[in-house]
Chains A and B, each alone.
Chain A
Amino acid sequence: MIGEYFSMAIRNLLRRRLRSWLTILGILIGITAIVSLISVSQGMKATITKQFEKLGYDKVIIFPGKGMEDMMAGLTSLSEHDLKLVRTVPGVDLATGLIYKIGKVEYNNDMEYTWVVGIDPESGKKIVEDIQAYEIDKGRDLRKGDKYKTILGYYFGTKDIFDRVIKPKDKIKIEGKEFEVIGLLKKIGNREDDSTIYIPFDIAKELFEEGDKLGAIYVKVKNGFETEKVAEKIKETLRRDRKQEIGEEDFSVQTTREILESFSSILAIIQGVIVGIAAISLLVGGIGIMNTMYTSVLERIREIGVMKAIGAKNLDISLMFLIESGLLGLVGGGFGVVTGVALAKIVEQAVAKSGVLGTEMLKAHFSPYLIISVLAFSFFVGMISGLFPAIKAAKQNPVDALRYE
């Protein structure tokens, strides 16, 4: 019986093709927005999670100030004294200090400003490699004893930064000093990391006249120790050394898991806002369905009267109209999924081409769960939008409906 109603609903929708398509378009736009936005942000989340998994949950990073932003802003409240203290905390396997500076880089009469990172090849390059996720592509890595040698990010090996491709053994100037390029890195997947320059820690210290100031301290926790507990211990040690109260710290200690969580929660907020906006367009689409269904009920009052005369109960009539409006939603949802996926792919390609985020950052993620729930939801939106028109249809008095001209 329900099958009959579906077949009748489809024929009724086809009877007024243009109106049906226009109504479907309303839902299509909303679903397109939802599918593309969710799949892109899901993809972003998946990529971020994967990157964090790669670097491992046994890392702790100590930033000056409130966190990463303050480090980027050049705040330096950390020093080599702190590094020494951190190394004494039980559970700390390796700890290393880094210098983060924006530096002037010259090559072939061309000049750029970029991140210059001083890393210690001796005291824990292993951690830095993990955290920065860098891998040598051409040439070799920094070694103990290297002086004016440098490792360059992926984009230096392309024509992206300078007009000419840089190869190992080329010479570049950093902050006016000449450095020999000894290695180039593989693509990491985000613009910033892929245009960073690495130089030996001691040279960076000298070059930027940093004294014993550090941009950040990276820690690897020993096997068998809980990262969160070690991080807490580090925080406590530094606080006691600085004679600071809880909440007054001028530094912050974050585990990789915490950083991931803060990324995820920011992403969740963005996702929520975006989906909320998309939901408004879906609401408008739903109102479109309601409008179409009301018109449809008015046009078919006589038909409703006839159906009632030949034995249709109120429930039969309302079901017919509900299925019709549900189908409007479902078809809109179906096409919306297709265009949403297409749009997400286009965004993915566009972002990859522009290189703003790098290819890794934006791989739209389409879970079957998302698609099925979107389809179910769009059918549901259709049904809900058709509810009042369907009730109106069912409530028609058969005598009046038969007389209706």
Chain B
Amino acid sequence: MRTVARGFAIALAVALAACGGAGSTGTTSSNSYQGKTIQLGAILSITGAGGVYGPSSQKGMDLAVEKINGSGGVNGAKISLDTKDDASDKAQSAQVAQTLIQQGQLLALLGPTLSNSAVAVHPLAESFKIPILAVSTTGIHIVPDCNFPKTDPCKYVFRDSLGEESAIPTNIKVYSDAKHPKTGVLMVANDDKFSSDGGKIVQNTVGSYGIQLLDTVQFSKTTADFATPVTKAVQKKPDVIFITSLGGIPAKIMIEARKQGFTGQFLGGNGFNTAVVSKQAGDAGKGAESGSAWYINNTFASNAGFVQAYRAKYSADPDQFAAQGYAAILVLADAAKRANLTFSDTAGDRTKLRDAMESVNIDTPLGRFQFTSNHDVKQTIWVIQMDGNGGFTLVKSVTPS
């Protein structure tokens, strides 16, 4: 009787182990993952100028790690995420990246938050041959030419954040097709890479849609009072004011412009796409449009589940940066699942992970997610507008060709 019971127990254990393996992996490599840890590092701007965005990214990533580990991990391996604050400082960002890369067994990095920091961190990651996934950097020369002006593509740098080169032109096209504006004024913070990149993109795009750029008003991102630059823009009586700037500046400009009687349209980029900016702009921002990587009210399962879990954990609505952070962990987990990691050869595992990242094709809160051959995000662009109450409504979705 005892022998029969022991045999039954062994058979049950084997069956359960087999079910567990097949259920969580779908591959034959699960045994090497069991009990192991996939170590990831994130460099985010929790404080400083990027502090509007970094904490959201961190919350999204933490939620994804919790969800994956809570449902059995990646083929049985747990994800460990070590997040470091770079204080929105390029030098600190590079220092933190170097420390993270060289201190342990990290398989991949995420971040940094700001494009200004990415120009220092991404080439470093490339030189160390460690995959790095940008989660909020939207400027020019992030992928594939992280070593610009050198033209050879960076093999280890990926981006899951929608670049301004995609978001801004799509937004302008959607608005032009609907409203046919004739004139515009560009307001751009000229002492910041993200903003300057956005300004160049606007200047290069408007002509294609028959919009005459009446003026480009430049200002410093440290400007406290926007009355003067806004006056310069408003007195041109444009149909559209384009704003490319970070943090709370777009909201300040919108409030000042409405105060000065501007009744036209505001168009912008990723700088608009957080609830913080929408709340700050309030009624003045109502109708302001931007191209976004994500829309909160999308009802497809991968987004609805994310929004629900985020609300349950943080008692607040997520924003685009949280969604991109969450998606980044899903992307890395999917790649790790298929990469046949050894957990003994870190350099080899990093290359395997990089190779697997190129073929990611999963559902995320951003929609169906793939990388282009240039390692940039290939996803639907959600053109959204501020609702005047701190939220956004969907104008149109544009699927990549």
The answer to whether A and B interact is no
**Which residues of B come within 8 Å of A, CB atoms?**
none
**Which residues of A come within 8 Å of B, CB atoms?**
none
